[in-house]
Amino acid sequence: MAHDVMDDAGERVPVVVLGMGNLLRRDEGVGIRALQRLEELYMLPPTVRLVDGGTLGLELLSYLEDADRALVLDATLSDEGPGTLVQISGDDVPAYFGMRTSPHEIALPDLLAVARLRGVTPPELVLVGIHPASIELGWELSDMVAGRLDDMVASAVAVLHQWGIAVEPRGKAVEVAGYPGGKSPEREARDA
């Protein structure tokens, strides 16, 4: 049985932004880092729920079951190599894009396969990911992936805008690359 994704007031939330990954394996945690950055830089309407999926696996199914739209942020594999930003949607989200760091771990493809089998895949599904440079044990993102984090967030914001969702910058006009104002202060400092 499907469970509605609800906000704190008990209202149905039609859009879920799901950050996936393992923060203990450097770039494997980029999906969660991007989710945190999105929350830090932007105000989102109550119709959007941010979910730190970490490595929860099939427990995340309840967040996808009744969502009209799901935006997944995750480390992905690509033919282009480390640091490559990837955006794919719907049935184009192939099984090999998810990453497993352990044979016991449930990855995004497993979650989506179960959702499809149950007939509860969100009608609109977009994956924004980045190819990791390092998945060794460690807390910090690699320099290459850290340097693309704001671009990943900008891609996520662009998807939300395409869906007609009002995403407003927090505070003093802090915006990421691709939007008025250019880069975040952290990105400016890194690039200086």
pLDDT higher than threshold 70 for residue 15: yes
Give dist(CA 51, CA 66) in Å, integer: 14
Q: Which helix (H) or strand (E) holds 49?
A: strand 48-54
Closest Cα to residue 32, out of 189, 153, 157, 182?
153
What is the chain's mean pLDDT, rounded? 80
For the whole model, what pTM was predicted? 0.79
pLDDT score for 4: 40
Residue range 87-116: average pLDDT?
A: 67
Residue range 98-122: average pLDDT?
A: 70
Residue range 111-127: average pLDDT?
A: 87
pLDDT score for 106: 63
Report DSSP state, residue 29. G
Q: How far apart, in Å, are the Cα atoms of 142 and each of 54, 79, 137, 146, 166?
A: 18, 19, 11, 6, 31
Secondary structure E strands in 117-186:
124-130, 168-169
pLDDT score for 7: 45
Residue range 17-26: average pLDDT?
A: 93
Residue range 108-114: average pLDDT?
A: 80
| Widest pairwise Cα distance in the chain | 53
Closest Cα to residue 67, out of 167, 165, 151, 155?
165
pLDDT higher than threshold 80 for residue 28: yes
Show Cβ contacts of residue 163 under 8 Å, excluding neighbours closer than 6 positions.
Answer: 15, 69, 124
Closest Cα to residue 86, out of 71, 97, 100, 102?
97
pLDDT score for 110: 79
Least confident of 34-38, 102-106, 141-145, 169-173: 102-106
pLDDT higher than threshold 60 for residue 178: no
Domains of the chain: 15-191 (3.40.50.1450)
pLDDT score for 172: 53
Residue range 144-171: average pLDDT?
A: 95
Q: Which three-class secondary structure state does DSSP give residue 170?
A: coil
Backbone angles phi, psi at 188, to 5 degrees: -60, -45
